[in-house]
């Protein structure tokens, strides 16, 4: 499988931490739990928002292209789930995995390195826009 060698050009991370700069394990910034993982070589654009079971919201946006997450763009397509990881239905690359027992909710929008775009997931029915609003509301309260 071809590696994605494009450099990460944009990164905005709030309430979360990544083990390495471009991906790998995702930690809740509040309780330090691992809540998921991102394949550092899989994406062009990754937008992940989660609410940890500790109540903290985290948001991760990383991009290798000029593309940014736009709330009006919806892929309306779900990735394929293999071994609890969300994988691209086109090229088979793994994209991300979220430990669903460690989060209250999560949403994502991801563009695979092959250009295919995905959002939502069957077991969590909140839209990314709604989750982002909850995220913003939680930050406003502080
Ligand atoms: Zn937490
Ligand atoms: Zn792909």
pLDDT tens-place string over residues 72-81:
788 889 999 9
pLDDT at position 132 is 81
Question: What ligand is nearest to the CA atom of residue 91?
Answer: 2
Quick: pLDDT tens for 100-130. 999 998 999 999 999 999 997 545 556 777 7
Please give the model's pTM, rounded to 2 decimal places.
Answer: 0.85
110 CA from centroid of ligand 1 (Å): 23
137 CA from centroid of ligand 2 (Å): 33
Tell me the three state secondary structure of residue 120: coil
Q: How far is CA 91 from CA 23, 44, 81, 94, 112, in A?
A: 19, 14, 13, 9, 9
pLDDT at position 122 is 45
133 CA from centroid of ligand 1 (Å): 18
Between strands 10-14 and 80-82, the pairing is: unpaired
Tokens of 109: 């929008």
If you average pLDDT over residues 20-34, what whole number do you get? 94
Asked if residues 26 and 35 have their Cβ atoms less than 8 Å apart, the reply is yes
What protein residues have CB closer than 5 angstroms to ion ligand 1? 28, 30-31, 52, 54, 56
5 CA from centroid of ligand 2 (Å): 14
Spell out the domain ranges in the chain: 10-140
Burial classification of residue 45, based on how many CB atoms lie within 10 Å of its CB (0-12 exposed, 13-18 middle, 19 or more buried): buried
């Amino acid at each position: 499988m071809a590696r994605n060698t494009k450099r990460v050009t944009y990164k905005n991370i709030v309430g979360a931490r990544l083990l390495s700069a471009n991906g790998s394990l995702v930690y809740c910034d509040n309780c330090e739990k691992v809540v998921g993982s991102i394949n550092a070589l899989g994406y062009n654009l990754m937008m992940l928002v989660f609410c940890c079971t500790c109540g903290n919201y985290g948001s991760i946006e990383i991009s290798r292209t000029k593309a940014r997450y736009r709330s009006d763009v919806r892929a309306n397509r779900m990735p394929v789930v293999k071994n609890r990881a969300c994988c691209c239905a086109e090229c088979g690359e793994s994209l991300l995995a979220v430990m669903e027992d460690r989060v209250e909710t999560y949403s994502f929008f991801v563009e695979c390195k092959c250009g295919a775009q995905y959002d939502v997931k069957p077991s969590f029915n909140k839209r990314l826009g709604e989750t982002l609003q909850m995220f913003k509301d939680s930050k406003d309260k502080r």
